[in-house]
Structure 1
Amino acid sequence: MARKTYKASWAKIGNSSGYRLSGSFFKENPQFAEVGGTVQVIDADTLLIRRATQPQQEQDEDELMLSLFLDFLMRQSLANPSEIEVYTEAMAAEDDELIAGVELDAR
């Protein structure tokens, strides 16, 4: 990858401060557009900027969907307590057998 440099200028953004980059930066590096991240100070003259591995909007949507699903389960459980089944050690052992050897893709 070619190491191209881009001009960054300090800017007041709402109640915050930030660095403004030219549109060409985002045109040539679309993976950084509309994505949050972190900034690490390397030394007095150097910053390291890392983009978030998952766009914040996508992460927020995932968290919202999980929250809605858990709320649904809770409402169902409270409305139908006779259908709640105790999770036993035998069930846990059966689940362990089902997922034995399965490798998860760590993001």
Structure 2
Amino acid sequence: MEAEQAYQSGDYIPLEEYEESLVMRLFLDFLMKTAINQTETLVPYSKTMSAEIDQLLAGVTVE
């Protein structure tokens, strides 16, 4: 029996992949709406932020 699939952009993809894609799109939509509606909360990305993220991700392996 084939795994469940969803139709997206003209192709069938695994349902799990579709659900992950949907959640990511919803999250990014939320971020965009927040950035547009609350521009006072935006700050420029800095070298300090980059260093902090590098430190947090040190030793993390991405699959």
TM-score, normalisation: structure 1: 0.47
Q: Specify the alignment match of 1:44 in structure 2.
A: none
Q: Which has the bigger relative contact order, CA under 8 A and spacing at least 6?
A: 2
List structure 1 segments (4+ residues) > 2 angstroms apart after TM superposition.
Answer: 33-36
- The AA in structure 2 aligned to 1:92 is S
Give per-residue Cα distances to partners, 1:50-104, cap 9 Å, x unaligned: xxxxx71110111011001100110011000000111111110111011111223
The two structures, once aligned, show a CA RMSD in angstroms of 1.8
* 1:18-97 alignment, distance < 5 Å: 26=1, 33-34=2-3, 56-97=14-55
Of Structure 1 and Structure 2, the greater helix share is in: 2
For structure 1, which runs of at least 5 residues remain unmatched after alignment?
1-25, 27-32, 37-54
Q: Distance in 2 between matches of 1:89 and 1:63?
A: 30
Structure 1: how far apart are the matches of 2:57 and 2:47? 15
**TM-score if structure 2 supplies the norm length?**
0.75
State the percentage of identical aligned residues: 34
**Which structure is larger by alpha-carbon Rg, 1 or 2?**
1
CA shift, 1:35, in A, is: 5.3
Structure with more strand by fraction? 1
